[in-house]
Every structure is written in structure tokens, then in C-alpha cells.
Structure 1
Amino acid sequence: MADLGHLFVVRGKLESVYCDALIVPTDSSAQLERTWDGVLSGVRRPKRLENGFARALRDDSGVPVWYLDVTERGDVSIDALVKHLSSVLEDVAAANLETTRARPLVAVPALGLAGGGHHGSAGAAIGRVMEALQAGADGIDIAFVLFSESDYAAAQWVRRQSGACDTDDALHKTQSRLADLARKGGLSLLIGAGVSIGAGLPSWTDLIEDLRSYLTQSQKDALGKLSVLDQAEYLAAVKGTKLGSVVANKIKVVQRPALGHLLLASLGCRAVATTNYDTLYENAVAAQAGAPMPTLLPYDGPAPGGSWVLKLHGDVDHPEDVVLARSEFIAYDAKNGPAGAIFQSMLLTTHLLAVGVSFRDDNILRLTHEVAGFVEAGGSSQKNELGTVLALGGDELQAAIWGGRLHWVAIGEDSDESLTQARELEIFLDHLAMHASVSSSYLLDPRYAALTEEDSEVIAAARAVADIVPKKPSARDRWKPLRDSLAALGYKHPASELPEAP
């Protein structure tokens, strides 16, 4: 019996996913669209395909790449695509892929939807491809990576309709509650080092271990008796300089986001705070089609109505601001008081979702306790829950400390394996992103007609209205709100219905 893995639906670019293997679409002669040039740099193209696929290696990283023929002897039907996809997944599952995850992660793009013959029947193709991906995930996890907003929205609708992720357990209820907050704009994020570990970056403790690698064993043993903050203080004193530049140089080499970053970015939260120095969350947002880059606070001026990321402990591009050693934490309030105030406003005005955060950071603890005390002093009769913490394996002591103020959610508590717990967190975020998806950008797009048959009369009427709405903007354009609403539902004037970039 197959040991089926999980099918993640991810919005972004294929090259933006930190994974263990790739599948890319081609034809029977292994020719690729120019779109994939950036994805497959350094890959030796196979000379021929057998049974609809061939395997190649990327020279620079060793990540295996499977070329998938999305046709069959000129047949560009969905049946031909699914047949070859099932064959290639069998080969991938049998390849014993190397991984740092609990299960290998295989990234698969929107096969055949852009220029591969199924652009005009995207709705039917997405459903069939997702069925094949789930059925073929034998011992592996698969990330179905969709660049187009409409493809992503359609895929999430297909999943919700299937009911496969619906359960009555506490985790599902938490996902539904958080998704509702995200849809209404009431959810903010606090992202910690635990998320970036999935991209190959070290934890805070591992970072200090790396920084002290040049010490003798006896020096390491003595240093190990100190807290992590005091270890960093000692290392800075020995080097005679702050550690910011050293840390930035070690971290900035990693640019590809982890799966968790991409799933969090798809929630569309306007306010995000992070204790991480890296730019992986920002890179995840940038990988989404049409998504504007968030403003980085305190380094950029805010864009009206736009999203922003608050860098609480500095940034790789501003190593002078990196907060790591004891003295830097002590001086934090004097130097970074406004940043702390912004974080506290997030706690007061939104529901904060903390991911990859241990809640042992002195600054985060102090700022959160101050807000909790402020709210309690206000005498509100309502239960004032400031946020939700997703904790790997659970933490009964922390849950007791923060009871009534932070909702502590145990992820992967049935396992003692950290990798298994990390995978359970990714699955939780995937289900959360599915429920939080609000876009209906496929609804009036005829390419997705297979998914909207039950609403065909309403859709025909809406398109008829859209066809007669004035198209040319004017100085006093009173039709713009309606045009924008119809465009958000996938309506395109016939002259503009051209294939989107993959």
C-alpha cells in the first residue's frame, strides 16, 4: 500500500521553492520554453525521453530534475499529460531522494497551463493534475507551484470542494478561525528563526555554535555554561567588533525561501514582524505574481495602504542593526523603541500569529507582557486573546504562563522527531492558506469553465454586463469600481485574453 505524502499548493515561482527535486514540462524532443531558462541553469538537457520522461542533474547543486513530456505523439490531451505525470512520479518516488526534511519535497509547476496546450482548459487540467499528484505522492511530499493568481485560486477552490482537509479536530477549528481573521484583514504575523531553518539557515543556538567554531574544545566547554546572549557578547569582545557583519555574510547567501515562508506569504497579511535577519519572507512575497513588495521598516518609507515587514532585530543589508549579544538586547529599548511600539500596536489591533518563535526572546517577552498588562488594566469584560502561537511539540509550561492571553497550539505533539514536527507545521500552514484564499479571479475566466458549470447562467449574465461597461477611462470615470470588480473575478476583454506568464 502506498505511503502517500502531502500535496501542498503554493503560490510563487518554481525557482523560489527550496526543494529536493524538480519536475519541468517539455515535449517529446525535450525542448523547453524560454520561461525555464532561469530555473534550469546548469542542467544538462537529456538527449531523449523514455516513457514520457527523463532525469537530469543540475551541475551546481546536484538537485535532480525530471523532464516531463506533457504530450504523447502529438496528443496534447489531459489524458496524455496525466499518463506521463503518473509515470514520472513513480520514478521520482523510487529515486531515494536525499533530503533534510522528514520526507523529500518535489516541486511541480502548472503543467501545460501556460504554453503547453491546456491554457484554454485550465479548470479541467488543474483538477486532473492535482488528482494525479496526490495519487503519485508515494513516500514524498509534492509542492504544486502556481505563479498565476487565477490558477492558485482555482486550485484552492478545488481542494476546498473536495473536503479532503476538513476534520472536526481542534487544529482544523484553529485553522478556520485564523483563516477567517486573514480574510477580514485582522491577522498579523510574527516570524521567527524556526521558519528559516527549513531553508537551510541555522537556529539561533546553531548560529552561535558556528561563530565559536574556531575556539578550542575547553574554551567551548567553558563558554557553554553561559547563556546564548552572553556567549555572543564574549565572541564579540574577543573579535573586538560587533558580530553583525559576520552574521550577515553567513545568512545572506541563502536566498530561496522555505516552504513555510511561501505559505505564510500567501495569507496576504498586511502587518508582519520578524526577529530574523534574512530576507526570505520578502523573497516569498516577491515570487507571487502581481504582489507588491512589502515596505521594510524602519528602512523604507511606508506605501499608503501597502503591506510592511518590521525587522525587529536588524537585517542582513543593515548589519550594524543586528541584535544578537547581551549588550545589544539591553540597549534595545533606547535604540529601537519605535520598533517595539509598532510590534505592540500589532498585538493591540490585530490577532498575532507567531510561527517559528520560541517566546524566549527577552524583547518579545517584555513587549508582550506589557501589552497584556495594559489590556488587563483596561478592565475589558471580554477575553482578550492577543494572538496564537504555533509551537512544535507543544509546551505545557508556556501554555500555562500565557493562558488567556496567547492561544498556544501544539503542532506534531504525537511525535518526538523535530523533522516530523516541522513537516506537521508546514501541513498546518498549507491548510490555513487553503481556507484563507479569498480570490475568485478564475470565476469569469472561460478557461476555468469546467469548475464553474453550476453557476454558468450567473457567469454568462455577469460577462454580458462586463461586455457593455465602458472600457476607456475618463477624467470622471464612474465605472472604474465596477470594471475593477469584474477584473478581480477574472473578466478580460476579448482582445486582452492572452496566455499569462507561468
Structure 2
Amino acid sequence: MSGHVFVVGADLRRLVCDDVLVPTDRSLRVSTGWRELLPADLVVNEDDAGLCLDLGWDSDERVRAVPGDEPRRLWLVDTVDDGERDSDDALPWLLDGAREALAAVARREVTTPVHGRARRLVALPALGTGWGAAAGRRGTLLQQLLPVLRVAAAEHGFDVALVLHGPSDLAAAQRVRRGGEDTWDLPQHLRDLADDLGERARRGQLAAFVGAGVSAAAGLPTWEQLLTELAEQSGLDGGLRKGLARLPAQDAAALLARELGREQLESYVEERFGPTRYALAHALIADLPVQEFVTTNYDPLVELAAADIGRDLSVLPFDDAEPGRPWLLKLHGDAAHPESIVLTREEYLQFGDSRAALAGVLHSLLLTRHVLFVGTSMQDDDLIRIAHQVRTAIQAPGAAPRRRSGTVLALREDPARARLWEQDVETVAMSPADTPAAEAARLLEVLLDLIGCLSTPPTGYLLDPAYRGLLNEEERALAEALGAVEQAMPAETGTSATGEVAALLRRLGSPACGGGREPAPADGATDVEDDRLQRQRPG
């Protein structure tokens, strides 16, 4: 079966996947950002040009597996042209390297993809787009690289994630996909749903609710699994542990909290749900042009995924909400603030009193936005209470008939649960009831990928010179006119009018105003940084 090519904004070092392609050159240098993924004894030297690895090439090979015992395998790919090729030959040479690398990856047997994913996931950056063979030709590279990745995914059966960093890169890649071959293997009703949700996101009408199912793809426990883990920690005898399974979840949590003590419980949650690698779904959701996020999860993975593409989320109620800044509401607490977590029956009962303001935020979203629920079974008592309160409010005497407040993306068909919630939200299943959960979860990722493609603003690269080749005649004329505005912009935005214009230019990809491709951090594992370092290589 054919794999799928995802386009996502993320940091390759923190994305959960099975294989990563790492750009290098003939001297086998990589940027310092890859250090945390490399075996320590493999790095023999570090200087301003990056890390020198204790490896060598065999003859004319361009792909080299990094040795190690980690389940995630790194593959070094030579992306830096030696200068002997002219510009017409350099890009085909680079694409040949990508094909060779993906073929080598396919020869490694992976029987169980990471965290039970249905398909193996191979991730790579936009190879060679710094000082490599595609330097200054990012638009042309994307137009030619994406078909290469699609052919490899179809031939080898694994999924591929093209991981990009800056907003202009994402906008350009999504334009290429929208104008190219249709590669989303989705039934028509899911395509129609993606059109609707993509349009809502573009208009600023969409909010996102992230449940525990999303974080399960990153290896974190669901509610039931967490209780099992806590039971193992508690030291309860066999009889009590067997009875624990028959209690409602919140009551089981209350008993475990009593046995463990609140301090030990908080310590366990803080450690178990601390920063870790985020799943593909986290990154796809964080990429959406959404300003309001809500989660019942304790982990920081949504905000980490957002930060890696330059979206600094205010985490409520711990941070101040700021005008124009996107935010994430932690409805049941945050592992970074373990005293805030909601777990036991008593804490759920207190939620309606001491945390009424937090519930009010979700009330507001359900009344004023269309909320996309991902990774939740909709069985949480707080969600049920909040939905009931909103339903009561909009069905008040004299109130006009209201639309449903959101869409639940369910993995598999469950007609009874869909009927239960039909007054409040539309439930859309990815697959029939007998579909394996991992396959349904993968289909959900494909749907999120399509929503992201359709919702990405089409002008985010207009003023980025690296993508001038993607523009049509009308767009080039507009870019030239706006270029004059760029030149006229003062160095300091002293007035509100200047700030508004600067913000517009940033959204259009202007490097002069801080838009487009964001500069890689000093230790960033990005292809741009990697190739710039390699230009300084000896010889």
C-alpha cells in the first residue's frame, strides 16, 4: 500500500519518527544541532564549521547510516555539490541523493513502527537549500522534491514527513501541493470536511481541542494507562488492585492518590508528562492558523510543537493572555505545575467551583468559534458538563436555532456516541468500527495534513526572494511594488501605523521585516544552518 507525504512545520530533533535524513558533505560534517541525536563517541571534533564525525564514505556513495542502538535511525546524506556541476545539473544530482537515501532507508527492516504507528515515518528537511545544491532555489526544489518523495512513499510503503521551519517555506510548499497532484487518499466526506474546516481556519473561526489520544502517539499514557501505572507504583495488594479496575476512573484515582500521597502523585505526573518528543499530530495541529487551543492533557507537547515554528503560546492560566498572541488553555492542569492537575473525583467536583473561570473560556469558544476536537472520546465529565451548559444557554426561550458548536474527529464509527452528542457537535469517524486503531489514527493524520494545506495562507512567501520563481506575472508585479514599501520602512517601528505595515510585510514573507524563513538557532538542526556551515568546510 502506498504511503503518504506530509508537509509539516517542526523541529526534526523533537518529532517522533523512525528515520531521519541528516544533510552533510564529503567531509562528513553536520551542524551542531544534531549533537543530541548522535552517539557521543562518533563526534571527533567540533569547530565553527560544525561537528566532524568519525565516519567515512565508501567510494562514491552518498548515503551513510549512523551507527547506534536507538530505535530511531539517522541517515547522513551528501547534499553539498562540489562545484563541478553547473546549475542545471546540481538540482537533479541532489534529487538523486534523496532517492538513494530513501531506498537505503527502505532496506532497513522495521517490524514495529514507533509507538505502534500504522506505518513507518521517515522525516527529512528541505535538502540542500542553504549553501547546498539547491541554494537560492527553494521554490524549484519544492516543486521537484515533493514528486520524488511521493514516488518513494508509493514504492516503499512508508510515510514521509517533509519538515520545514519558516512560515514562507510552509506556505510555498502548500501552494505547490495545492497546484499539483492530488495525493490525499481520503473518502469524499473527509475531503468535504477538510474543505469546510480549512475555510473556517482561514477566516479565524476555528479553535482546537486536543485530547489524550494525540499524546498517546508520542508514547504518553491515556487516562486508563495512567491509572494502571499509578496502581503499579502504589503497592496495593492484588485484591485491591483487582477491585480498583471496577471503580469509576475518578474514584480509582482518588484511592490511588490516598495510597501514594499527593506529593508522590504530583511528582510522578510531573516526571511522566514532562517535555519529550512530540507526535506528528501535535505538529500538524500547531501548524493550523488557529489562535485558541484547549487541552485536558498535562503534557507540554502542543506548546513545544508551536514554539518550534515560532508560535509562542500563552499557557493559561499560568501566563497572561496578550492581544494578538495565540494561547493554550490547560483545562486539567499542567505537569510543569503539578499542584494544578485535576485527577480525582473530588478535584473534578471542585472544578465547577474553583475553576469556573477556566470552564468559561471553553464556554465562550463553543459559543463564538467552531471547535475541532481531536484525540478525545468526549467522555470527560467536565466536557459533558460544559456542553450541557452551552446547550442550555443557546436553547433559551426565544433564542434562534443554533448551529452545532464543533466537530469531533473520532477514530472509528460509534453510532450511539455520535447520536448522544448530535445536539452539540458533529462526530465524524475516520474509519469503520472494525478498523485497527492505528490505521484510523493514521487516517486522522492525513486529514489534518489536508486541513493544514487548505488553511495555510497563500501569500506567506510573496516577498521571500527564495520563492520568486513560484510567482505568476501578477504576483511578481505586486511583490515588486511591495518591495518599494520594504525599502521605505524605517529601522524602528515608532508608530502604530508603521507597526501595522511591518506586520503585514512579515505575513507576506518579508525577510527585511522579520518574516519568511526564520533564522536557524545557533545549534539548530536545520538544513539552512547545516549547509551554511558546510560552505566553510576545509578544502
Q: Does 1:328 align with 2:347?
A: yes
Asked whether the equivalents of residues 469 and 479 of structure 1 are also in contact (C-alpha less than 8 Å), the reply is no
Secondary structure at 2:355 match in 1: helix
Secondary structure at 1:303 match in 2: coil
* Residue of structure 2 equivalent to 1:8: 6
Identity of aligned residues (%): 32
State the Cα distance separating 1:181 from its structure 2 match: 1.2
Secondary structure at 1:188 match in 2: strand
Asked whether the equivalents of residues 462 and 508 of structure 2 are also in contact (C-alpha less than 8 Å), the reply is yes
State the Cα distance separating 1:417 from its structure 2 match: 0.7
Supply the AA of the counterpart residue of 1:133: L
Once residues 351 and 160 of structure 1 are traced to their aligned partners in structure 2, the CA distance between those partners, rounded to angstroms, is 24
**Aligned residue runs from structure 1 range 436-451, under 5 A:** 436-438=455-457, 440-451=459-470
* Residue of structure 1 equivalent to 2:203: 184
* Residue of structure 2 equivalent to 1:285: 306
Asked whether the equivalents of residues 266 and 338 of structure 2 are also in contact (C-alpha less than 8 Å), the reply is yes
State the Cα distance separating 1:49 from its structure 2 match: 2.9
Supply the AA of the counterpart residue of 1:63: R
State the Cα distance separating 1:481 from its structure 2 match: 4.1
* Residue of structure 1 equivalent to 2:178: 160
Once residues 206 and 110 of structure 1 are traced to their aligned partners in structure 2, the CA distance between those partners, rounded to angstroms, is 38
Asked whether the equivalents of residues 46 and 55 of structure 1 are also in contact (C-alpha less than 8 Å), the reply is no
Deviations 1:144-169 (A, max 9, x none): 11012111111111111115157771
Asked whether the equivalents of residues 384 and 404 of structure 1 are also in contact (C-alpha less than 8 Å), the reply is no
**Aligned residue runs from structure 1 range 97-112, under 5 A:** 97=110, 98-99=112-113, 100-112=116-128
* Residue of structure 2 equivalent to 1:128: 144
Q: Does 1:311 align with 2:319?
A: no
Q: Does 1:273 align with 2:271?
A: no
Q: Does 1:249 align with 2:277?
A: no
Asked whether the equivalents of residues 16 and 287 of structure 1 are also in contact (C-alpha less than 8 Å), the reply is no
Supply the AA of the counterpart residue of 1:49: W
Supply the AA of the counterpart residue of 2:105: V
Q: Does 1:65 align with 2:84?
A: no
**Aligned residue runs from structure 1 range 375-386, under 5 A:** 375-377=394-396, 379-386=398-405
* Residue of structure 2 equivalent to 1:88: 101
Once residues 354 and 315 of structure 1 are traced to their aligned partners in structure 2, the CA distance between those partners, rounded to angstroms, is 19
Secondary structure at 1:331 match in 2: helix
Deviations 1:411-461 (A, max 9, x none): 122752111111111111111111111152322333213322454652464
Supply the AA of the counterpart residue of 2:167: E
Asked whether the equivalents of residues 110 and 144 of structure 1 are also in contact (C-alpha less than 8 Å), the reply is yes
State the Cα distance separating 1:475 from its structure 2 match: 5.0
State the Cα distance separating 1:28 from its structure 2 match: 2.0
* Residue of structure 1 equivalent to 2:417: 398
Q: Does 1:259 align with 2:280?
A: yes
Asked whether the equivalents of residues 5 and 161 of structure 2 are also in contact (C-alpha less than 8 Å), the reply is yes
Deviations 1:276-303 (A, max 9, x none): 0011101011111x32x21111111221
* Residue of structure 1 equivalent to 2:531: none
Match of 1:26 among 20, 24, 27: 24
* Residue of structure 2 equivalent to 1:145: 163
State the Cα distance separating 1:29 from its structure 2 match: 2.5
Match of 2:246 among 214, 225, 246: 225
Q: In structure 2, do the counterparts of structure 1 residues 238 and 436 end up closer, same or farther at CA, with 3 Å as the change threshold?
A: same
Higher RCO (CA 8 Å, separation ≥ 6 residues) = 2
Q: Does 1:366 align with 2:366?
A: no
Q: In structure 2, do the counterparts of structure 1 residues 382 and 92 end up closer, same or farther at CA, with 3 Å as the change threshold?
A: same
TM-score (normalised: structure 1): 0.91
Once residues 370 and 493 of structure 2 are traced to their aligned partners in structure 1, the CA distance between those partners, rounded to angstroms, is 41
State the Cα distance separating 1:125 from its structure 2 match: 0.8
Q: In structure 2, do the counterparts of structure 1 residues 453 and 238 end up closer, same or farther at CA, with 3 Å as the change threshold?
A: same
Asked whether the equivalents of residues 42 and 58 of structure 1 are also in contact (C-alpha less than 8 Å), the reply is no
Secondary structure at 1:178 match in 2: helix
State the Cα distance separating 1:37 from its structure 2 match: 3.6
State the Cα distance separating 1:471 from its structure 2 match: 3.9
Higher mean C-alpha displacement, 388-397 vs 251-260: 251-260
Secondary structure at 1:65 match in 2: strand
Once residues 257 and 486 of structure 2 are traced to their aligned partners in structure 1, the CA distance between those partners, rounded to angstroms, is 66
TM-score (normalised: structure 2): 0.85
Asked whether the equivalents of residues 269 and 307 of structure 1 are also in contact (C-alpha less than 8 Å), the reply is yes
Once residues 303 and 167 of structure 2 are traced to their aligned partners in structure 1, the CA distance between those partners, rounded to angstroms, is 18
* Residue of structure 1 equivalent to 2:357: 338
Once residues 11 and 468 of structure 1 are traced to their aligned partners in structure 2, the CA distance between those partners, rounded to angstroms, is 29
Higher mean C-alpha displacement, 201-210 vs 409-418: 409-418
Q: In structure 2, do the counterparts of structure 1 residues 402 and 248 end up closer, same or farther at CA, with 3 Å as the change threshold?
A: same
Match of 1:47 among 52, 55, 58: 55
Q: Does 1:462 align with 2:481?
A: yes
State the Cα distance separating 1:313 from its structure 2 match: 0.7
Secondary structure at 2:77 match in 1: strand
Q: In structure 2, do the counterparts of structure 1 residues 479 and 401 end up closer, same or farther at CA, with 3 Å as the change threshold?
A: same
Q: In structure 2, do the counterparts of structure 1 residues 463 and 339 end up closer, same or farther at CA, with 3 Å as the change threshold?
A: closer
State the Cα distance separating 1:257 from its structure 2 match: 1.2
Q: In structure 2, do the counterparts of structure 1 residues 343 and 462 end up closer, same or farther at CA, with 3 Å as the change threshold?
A: same
Secondary structure at 1:136 match in 2: helix
Asked whether the equivalents of residues 167 and 517 of structure 2 are also in contact (C-alpha less than 8 Å), the reply is no
Supply the AA of the counterpart residue of 1:413: P
Q: In structure 2, do the counterparts of structure 1 residues 233 and 492 end up closer, same or farther at CA, with 3 Å as the change threshold?
A: closer
Once residues 474 and 205 of structure 1 are traced to their aligned partners in structure 2, the CA distance between those partners, rounded to angstroms, is 52
Once residues 267 and 111 of structure 1 are traced to their aligned partners in structure 2, the CA distance between those partners, rounded to angstroms, is 24
Secondary structure at 1:411 match in 2: strand
Supply the AA of the counterpart residue of 1:405: D
Deviations 1:291-343 (A, max 9, x none): 2x211111112212211111111111111121111121122212211111111
Once residues 347 and 187 of structure 1 are traced to their aligned partners in structure 2, the CA distance between those partners, rounded to angstroms, is 10
Asked whether the equivalents of residues 348 and 371 of structure 1 are also in contact (C-alpha less than 8 Å), the reply is yes
Asked whether the equivalents of residues 122 and 159 of structure 2 are also in contact (C-alpha less than 8 Å), the reply is yes
Once residues 412 and 7 of structure 2 are traced to their aligned partners in structure 1, the CA distance between those partners, rounded to angstroms, is 24
